[in-house]
Homo-oligomer: A and B are copies of this chain.
């Protein structure tokens, strides 16, 4: 595990971006799974800035690692968010974007196998220690990319309700997520987090026991695991 502590959110965002760019600027096909959500907001702004005034990096393929369908809308929560924050403003062509959804998730895995696996996956961490859609209570370390039912946890309906914008009609029966087993196959796992409210879980996930109660603790065992934090998120770590 390599932990990089930056003074603030701005620098955490910049360093994470540099990590991704370092992968992209290679003379080979590069396969990246990237996260949606609030943590990467600034990072994508910086990345969009970098992509301007430059020929597109056609060697890069992008993947989402989970998806929550919204009623019968064309795009689910994750892809809609990634499009808004990154793909559209950066002008990433559709053929470089490999969308995982509840229908194609088995081909997604097969495709990744065929192209030699993910070069890197960028993930955030929830205050409960979840990563991707791997929540405590519904996740086993051996889980692969799979559907997770709205009935898998008593509070799952409410969680999904929040994700789809509060309209109960649009809450799906299932969402899809890569599991610990698939994420562990990535050549590099990059986890980033900022803010005081992440400090406790960062301490547990990185320096506590490896346990399914904290799904992201599994990455302590990954051979190339890089963590980028701001000072606040790192504040409870033994350093």
Contacts and interface: CB of A to CB of B under 8 A. Distances in A.
A44 to B, nearest CB: 16
Contact of A18 (B18, B180, B188): B18
**Copies of chain A in the complex:** 4
A27 B224 contact: yes
A50 B11 CA distance: 9
Nearest to A186: B223
A142 B140 CA distance: 16
A211 to B, nearest CB: 8
Contacts of A29: 113-114, 116
Contacts of A218: 141, 221
Going nearest first, the 4 A-B pairs with the smallest beta carbon separation are A22-B22, A116-B116, A2-B27, A141-B210
A55 B55 CA distance: 34
A220 interface: yes
Interface in A2-40: 2, 4-7, 11, 15, 17-23, 25-29
A6 to B, nearest CB: 7
Given A2-B27, A181-B221, 6 more contacts: A2-B26, A4-B55, A22-B23, A25-B226, A142-B209, A218-B221
A217 B140 CA distance: 12
A222 interface: yes
Nearest to A14: B50
A217 B59 CA distance: 23
Interface string A128-142: 000000000000111
Contacts of A209: 140-142
Interface centre among A22, A55, A140, A186 (most CB of B within 10 A): A22
Given A55-B5, A142-B210, A210-B141, A25 B19 contact: yes
B53 A7 contact: yes
Contacts of A114: 29, 115
Contact of A19 (B11, B22, B221, B224): B22
